[in-house]
Amino acid sequence: MTYTTQMDAARKGIVTPQMKIVARKENVRIEDLMERMAKGTVIIPANKNHKNLDPEAVGEGMSTKINVNLGISKDCSEIEPEMDKVRMALEMKAEAIMDLSCYGKTREFRQRLLEISPAMIGTVPIYDAVGFYDKNLQDITVDEFFDVVQKHVEDGVDFLTIHCGLNRHTADKVKQGGRLTNIVSRGGSLLFTWMEINQAENPFYEHFDRLLDICEEYDVTLSLGDGCRPGCLHDATDACQVEELITLGELTKRAWERNVQVMIEGPGHMAMNEIAGNMMMEKRLCHGAPFYVLGPLVTDVAPGYDHITAAIGGAIAAMNGADFLCYVTPAEHLRLPTLDDMKEGIIATRIAAHAADVAKGHPGARDWDDKMSKARAALDWNGMFELAMDPVRPKEFRESSKPEHEDSCTMCGKMCAVRNMNRVLAGKDIQLDD
């Protein structure tokens, strides 16, 4: 029996090689995995042309995944520095990389990325269209937009962010005002501009079936972009955001009719007390499709530290149903991130994802923490370093400030609670005064 996509295979009862790998990684029964994939609540982004992919699942009952953004731009068009970032993202166990390249040798970079990356790869084709055709945005034709999509999927991209839900009706809501930051989505703003200048409908909304044809052929997952995501706390959960979300839910059902896998992209900036409600709303309006969030950033006043504002929001979001977190670096809103920025962003996002998995009771998540606790109780420093999410930094801290006694640290010395409890429970003298 043949199948077109991972969703099609699940609905036909066919166990794919990707499903076997995912079931083992996630410690779930293959039957449960396939049932969720058939419903659309779990996806395995896996382009047929991405030959070295190590597949991951995103969605209901799966561990929370993280994504790293990178790519070349007009101001930073050198490929090699971005390839260094790719290698770091892979070393730090990011499950996905989004290539947001928008200028220069974008296809060369994308192809090199796919050659070395076992992580799933996503792109935003409209970014590439402007640089690829080297023409004004308003002059790009519908066929040219779709030709760029075709090139991306032929190269092996596993998921595409396309802002299909920002149609003329929702664009009118934006023009009515009330927002402090209008549209902050780069892809959303480009499509809004194209629609306004040409007085035409969003081509990806109007010709959605054409997009589904491409995705079905290559088994590419549609990441339905949130062009109206809030760019500040003030704009969260407004009519523009919610109306687009309703449209994305309608498009999700159309994609599922074609066995095309879908995830939904979400906010953005949002106060902490709104996050849980937004997660529930997305799952309801989009029929349980996996939810991919940027943050959410829980305050607007911490530039330079937005990896922290996003990690706080990401942990709350994932605990309440978000399935996939896009990392945010300290350089967010300020500049293209450096390697150091990337590391900070990846670690912050991995902390958020793991904390949420512990809260959700994902199989095996708590075991990692318990192993660390046992190593701490035993004052097993090397064991702690090996178990650490980032083994490098804690070891550097330890070596930079050596204690007098190996079974303590320079914070407490011989007054270390763990050291003294171990000694007293073993019947030994504590001896604090020598």
185 among annotated binding-site residues: yes
Taking 50 as the pLDDT cut, the residues of the chain under it are: none
pTM: 0.95
CATH superfamily of 6-360: Radical SAM ThiC family, central domain (3.20.20.540)
107 among annotated binding-site residues: no
98: enclosing H helix or E strand: strand 96-99
- Ranges in the chain annotated CATH 3.20.20.540: 6-360
76 among annotated binding-site residues: no
228 among annotated binding-site residues: yes
265 among annotated binding-site residues: yes
409 among annotated binding-site residues: yes
Distance CA(206)–CA(265), nearest Å, equals: 20
Strands 291-294 and 324-326: parallel
412 among annotated binding-site residues: yes
Alpha helical stretches, state H, 92-202: 106-116, 125-133, 142-155, 168-175, 186-198
For 152, the token pair is 């991306």
Local structure of 297: helix, strand or coil: strand
Helices and strands per DSSP (H, E), number in the chain: 19, 10
Distance CA(5)–CA(434), nearest Å, equals: 70
Beta bridge partners of 426: none
pLDDT at position 434:
54
pLDDT, one tens digit per residue, over 184-210 is 999 999 999 999 999 999 999 999 999
Q: Is the dihedral of CA 426, 428, 433, 434 positive or negative?
A: negative
What does 33-90 look like in DSSP terms, one character per residue?
HHHHHHHTSEE----TT-TT-----EETTSPPEEEEEE---SSS--HHHHHHHHHHHH
386 among annotated binding-site residues: no
411: enclosing H helix or E strand: none
Question: Does residue 270 contact residue 258 with C-beta atoms inside 8 Å?
Answer: no
226 among annotated binding-site residues: yes
Identify which of 86, 148, 93, 74 has the alpha carbon closest to the alpha carbon of residue 114: 86
pLDDT at position 147:
97
416 among annotated binding-site residues: yes
405 among annotated binding-site residues: no
Question: Does residue 321 contact residue 62 with C-beta atoms inside 8 Å?
Answer: no
pLDDT at position 220:
98
Tell me, letter by letter, the H, E, C secondary structure of 194-216. Answer: HHHHHCCCCHHHHCHHHHHHHHH
For 270, the token pair is 């949002």
Q: How far apart are the two ends of the chain, measured CA to CA in Å?
A: 77
286 among annotated binding-site residues: no
Question: Does residue 197 contact residue 138 with C-beta atoms inside 8 Å?
Answer: yes
189 among annotated binding-site residues: no
127 among annotated binding-site residues: yes
**CB neighbour list of residue 183: distance below 8 Å, 6 or more residues apart:** 174, 189, 192, 227, 228, 231
For 56, the token pair is 């991951």
pLDDT at position 4:
97
